[in-house]
Amino acid sequence: MASELLRKEETLTMRRQLIGQSCRLFYSDDPVKIVRARGQYIFDENDKRYLDCISNVHHVGHCHPSVTKAATDQMELLNTNTRFLHDNLVLYADRLAATLPERLSVFYFVNSGSEANDLALRLAQQYTQHEDVIVLDHAYHGHLMSLIDISPYKFRKLNGQKEWVHVAPLPDTYRGIYKEDEPNPGLSYADTVKDLIEVVHRKGRKISAFFAESMPSVGGQIILPEGYSAKVAEYVRSAGGVFVADEVQTGFGRVGSHFWAFQMQGADFCPDIVTMGKPMGNGHPIACVVTTVEIASAFTANGVEYFNTFGGNPVSCAIGLAVLDVIEKEDLKGNAKRVGAHLKDLFTRLKSRHEIIGDVRGAGLFVGVELVEDRELRTPATKTAAQVVKRLKMEDRICVSTDGPWESVLKFKPPMCFNMEDAELVVHCIDRILTDIEANMKLEKEDI
């Protein structure tokens, strides 16, 4: 392997010279050099094993043998583009369709979540003949220019908000304008979207789409309140727009109870467009947009062919089919439900012992632990969260990262083969670290 020819210091030096500095590394002060991986574990150049709690891309586990075999078998046989007729494309679309509501039946295959969200934006604007988009605060939908424009997480650091983009409050019942004691937070937050639509209309503009992650990730591992999406969809459709559900982070059984996170909003709710990406190929670049016949027909009616050189190629689809097989055969959705519930319960118990834990939230293997300096004021404990992440890596070889507007949320989106023992190890180590941090804080106060 090429990586074995270089010492870690040499690799790091070359990266700094050759790779754009905005392409950041995890643990930039002492990055982990990975040379191999399997399941929920990654191994460095010294064959030290790390528990991976953040690689949601490697959905069924790093280097799953069934997935790698499907890839190599198809690669040896044929790989071409979708202008040639091939079984894998339609068989894969058919398998995906079986997991979705019946009205979501037309598929477009692409290479990344960013491509998927860009295409979803095009579909919405073509169908509605409107331009304006409503997004949630702190949202991130991808790195293309069109998506930076609808990602407050990014555009607020760059050129600011475009005239055609409108930002609705993040439905965060821990930190948002309506908290957990609100009688009906789902309706209250949905009404903020209704109010925003009225503001847009008064400006003489029209809504093409409401665009949201089914569970906002960069926003801090947020679980949308009950009834929110259905009510928002009602308001948006009445305004002539469509509802786009971004499942790039949360699809394919991660929430445990359902195959898609949007299904947690109830059987009566169905988006008009769904985007998917990261987990589809278990590390291979494949993504997808699915929509209704009506929206797809409007896209076709513009007379412009949609062609994606690599999207939906036979190798990508073979990999996608293998991932679905593994999810089913190994009951990874069920595993996410069982292990995720255990992980969340362990953290909830930990919260009773550590004042620094302000909130524990999640569904399946999508869990967030919010750290605070003061529970009553809910002051974000950003520095402490960073310290926990650093110590987990250095002392326990556990890879965790932070998210949320203040980077105060410890996020857990591990490969779906993450097990009970892994959950218990992580919580045990965080317990030890928080105990140590709190003891040091007490000593510092006594010295003062």
Rounded CA separation 64/107 (Å)? 26
The answer on 249 and 161 residing in a single domain is yes
- On the question of pLDDT at 299 being above 90, the answer is yes
The CATH number of the domain where 376 resides is what?
3.90.1150.10
In tens, the pLDDT along 152-189 reads: 999 998 888 999 999 999 999 999 999 999 999 999 99
Q: Of the candidates 280, 297, 329, which is a domain's last residue? A: 329
What DSSP designation does 384 have? H
- Please check whether residue 116 is in contact with residue 289, taking contact to mean a CB–CB distance below 8 angstroms: yes
The answer on 75 and 14 residing in a single domain is no
Rounded CA separation 169/101 (Å)? 28
Confidence tier at 66 by pLDDT (50, 70, 90): very high
pTM: 0.96
Q: Average pLDDT, whole number, for the chain?
A: 95
Confidence tier at 3 by pLDDT (50, 70, 90): very low
The answer on 177 and 143 residing in a single domain is yes
For position 444, what pLDDT does the model report?
Answer: 76
- Please check whether residue 109 is in contact with residue 317, taking contact to mean a CB–CB distance below 8 angstroms: yes
The answer on 420 and 403 residing in a single domain is yes
Q: Of the candidates 329, 362, 381, which is a domain's last residue? A: 329
For position 440, what pLDDT does the model report?
Answer: 87
Phi, psi of 43 (to 5 degrees): -130, 135
The answer on 51 and 103 residing in a single domain is no
The amino acid at residue 345 is D
Residue 37: domain span: 2-63+331-447
Rounded CA separation 198/80 (Å)? 48
Confidence tier at 448 by pLDDT (50, 70, 90): low
The answer on 155 and 50 residing in a single domain is no
Rounded CA separation 292/21 (Å)? 41
The answer on 70 and 59 residing in a single domain is no
The answer on 162 and 253 residing in a single domain is yes
Rounded CA separation 73/30 (Å)? 38
- On the question of pLDDT at 332 being above 80, the answer is yes
- Please check whether residue 124 is in contact with residue 273, taking contact to mean a CB–CB distance below 8 angstroms: yes
The answer on 208 and 296 residing in a single domain is yes
- On the question of pLDDT at 277 being above 80, the answer is yes
Rounded mean pLDDT, 72-81: 96
The answer on 96 and 74 residing in a single domain is yes
Lowest model confidence (mean pLDDT) among 4-18, 67-81, 139-153, 367-381: 4-18
The CATH number of the domain where 301 resides is what?
3.40.640.10
Q: Of the candidates 310, 329, 348, which is a domain's last residue? A: 329
Domain count, the chain: 2
Confidence tier at 273 by pLDDT (50, 70, 90): very high
In tens, the pLDDT along 95-126 reads: 999 999 999 999 999 999 999 999 999 999 99
Residue 356 neighbours by CB under 8 Å, 6+ apart: 371, 372, 373, 381, 384, 434, 437, 438
Q: Which of 390, 339, 385 is CA-nearest to residue 362?
A: 339
The answer on 116 and 34 residing in a single domain is no
The answer on 153 and 186 residing in a single domain is yes
In tens, the pLDDT along 208-239 reads: 999 999 999 999 999 999 999 999 999 999 99
For position 337, what pLDDT does the model report?
Answer: 98
- Please check whether residue 53 is in contact with residue 26, taking contact to mean a CB–CB distance below 8 angstroms: no
Q: Which of 394, 339, 401, 382 is CA-nearest to residue 364?
A: 339
> What percent of the chain has a predicted confidence (pLDDT) above 70?
99
3-class SS at 108?
A: strand
